[in-house]
Amino acid sequence: MTTPTLNQSPLQENTRIHGLGICRPEVIVTNEDICQWIDSSDEWIRQRTGIVTRHRADKDTSVIDMAEAAARAALEDAGIEASQLGAVLVSTVTHPYATPSAAAQLADRLGATPAPAYDISAACAGYCYGIAQADALVHAGTADYVLVVGVEKLSDFIDNTERTISFLLGDGAGAVIIGPSDSPGIGPSVWGSDGSKHESIRMTHSLLDVRDLSLAALAEGPEALSSAAESAIWPTMLQDGPTVFRWAVWEMAKVAQQALDAAGIRAEDLVAFVPHQANIRIIDEMVKQLGLPEHVAVARDIVDAGNTSAASIPLAMHRLLAENPGLSGGLALQIGFGAGLVFGAQVVVLP
């Protein structure tokens, strides 16, 4: 008996971003607010980070709520129905359940069921990881249209009195629809990880520690906590700023250059540079290292939005396009990098 030939998904030659939508939560946290919690000043924070305000979500707004708002706007912008989605990907590190995923509930809320849905844990590189995945899924013929959401409610995982990272962080969501295209719209992804540096951006302690600390506090009272946790039961973010800065600028400039080379694009061909919004000094130094010409618009949404991890690139891209509609259709270099350590970069055609 001869083995019959099976069908394989037909390949899709080109992909692009079909639509972009965002959600900016309404609570504005100023540097003056921050200075109630840490001994600092507006000038110090601006000079070291570029940040003037951050948007944060209120207590009742969840990661899934913000993801839904951004996703609906992206679907509308793309002009497609949720029922056409072949996959729903949510990049986040702040959905407060290990399982089930935020993506499955988001797909249900949107009316995309039974689209496959899953979360991606790649911190500040999460959006670029999502684009890499969506591009591959559409390319391979596995899905027609893929929703990628980068969303964070970092305000749930900060300690306002902590000085290395908490004051940088904001909340928000950005979403794009990736689908087939007549011409190339997403360059090859240059992405990777370096887990040897996993401690340079991290949580103070694990969920298992939370369990043990809670049980100890219940049994023995709050004094049981002092030896085990430095400050609290709840885990929050920490970073080794100078180490991260060095990696983010000099290692990531190389990755950004590789993404340009892989796409066959020169810096002068770009209309925009949309890096992860981690710190304005990282952005400015990367621009210098990459030798970007003056005409390339550089996203600096961090000034108002703070660092929103997986949401920062689509938020910054949305703002750039709102302020400069003429950039639409031009080439943008995007790069995300963060806790893991992980990184991802692509050249894309702006929607």
Partner 1 sequence: MASNEEILAGLAEIVNEETGLAPESVEMDKSFTDDLDIDSISMMTIVVNAEEKFGVRIPDEEVKNLKTVGDAVEFIAKSQS
Per-residue interface string for the shown chain with partner 1, residues 257-296, x marking contact by CB under 8 A: ----------------------x-x---x-----------
Minimum CB distance to partner 1 smaller for 249 or for 302: 249
Nearer to partner 1, 211 or 288 (CB): 288
Opening angle at CA 331, ends 325 and 289, nearest 5: 110
When asked if residue 243 is in the footprint of partner 1 (CB under 8 A), the reply is yes
202 binds partner 1 (CB under 8 A): no
> Which value, to the nearest 10 degrees, does the dihedral of the CA atoms of residues 256, 257, 259, 260 take?
120
Alpha-carbon distances of 281 from 106, 265, 322, rounded to whole Å: 35, 25, 24
Residue 48 C-beta: closest distance to partner 1, Å? 6
- 295 catalytic residue (yes or no): no
Candidate residues 245, 265, 267, 324; the one interacting with partner 1 per rule CB under 8 A: 245
Instruction: Report CA torsion sign: 344, 277, 316, 312.
Output: positive
Does 139 qualify as catalytic in the annotation?
A: no
Residue 195 in the binding site for partner 1 (CB under 8 A): no
Residue 214 phi, psi dihedral angles, 5° rounding: -65, -45
Q: Which two tokens stand for residue 260?
A: 């340009």
Give the contact letters, 158-187, x = binds to partner 1 (CB under 8 A), - = no: ------------------------------
Q: What is the DSSP string of 94-150?
A: --S-SSS-HHHHHHHHHT-TTS-EEEE--GGGHHHHHHHHHHHHHHTTS-SEEEEEE
Closer residue to partner 1 in complex, CB, 38/327: 38
**Which are the contacts of 329, defined by CB distance < 8 A and separation ≥ 6?**
349, 350
Minimum gap (Å) between residue 260 Cβ and partner 1: 21
Instruction: Using the minimum distance from each CB to partner 1, give the nearer residue, 153 or 197.
Output: 197
Which amino acid is present at 275? P
Q: Please choose, out of 113-121, 235-243, 315-323, 339-347, the segment that lies near partner 1 by the rule CB under 8 A.
A: 235-243
Say which of 124, 139, 279, 318 is annotated catalytic.
124
Q: Binding residue for partner 1 (CB under 8 A) from 116, 141, 188, 241?
A: 241
89, 116 Cβ separation under 8 angstroms: no
Give the nearest distance from C-beta 341 to partner 1 in angstroms: 13
Residue from 211, 250, 291, 323 touching partner 1 (CB under 8 A): that is 250
Number of residues that bind partner 1 (CB under 8 A): 12
Angle between helices 126-139 and 312-323 (to 10 degrees): 80
What's the closest the beta carbon of residue 244 comes to partner 1, in angstroms? 9
Min. distance of Cβ 171 from partner 1 in angstroms?
Answer: 24
Q: Cα(124)–Cα(117) distance, rounded to whole angstroms?
A: 20
Residues 37-76 within binding reach of partner 1 (CB under 8 A): 48
CA nearest neighbour of 234 among 162, 167, 306, 298 = 162
| In the complex, least distance from residue 136 CB atom to partner 1, rounded to whole angstroms | 34
Q: Assess contact for 171 and 187: CB atoms under 8 A.
A: no
Among 73, 165, 249, 315, binds partner 1 (CB under 8 A): 249
Distances (CA, A) of 173 to 122, 156, 231, 260, 345: 15, 15, 30, 26, 19
Minimum distance of partner 1 from residue 276's CB (angstroms): 16
Asked if 124 is an active-site residue, the reply is: yes
If phi over 0 gives left and psi between -120 and 50 gives alpha, with beta otherwise, what is residue 17?
beta
**Residues with active-site annotation:** 124, 276, 307
Residues that bind partner 1 (CB under 8 A): 48, 240-243, 245-246, 249-250, 279, 281, 285
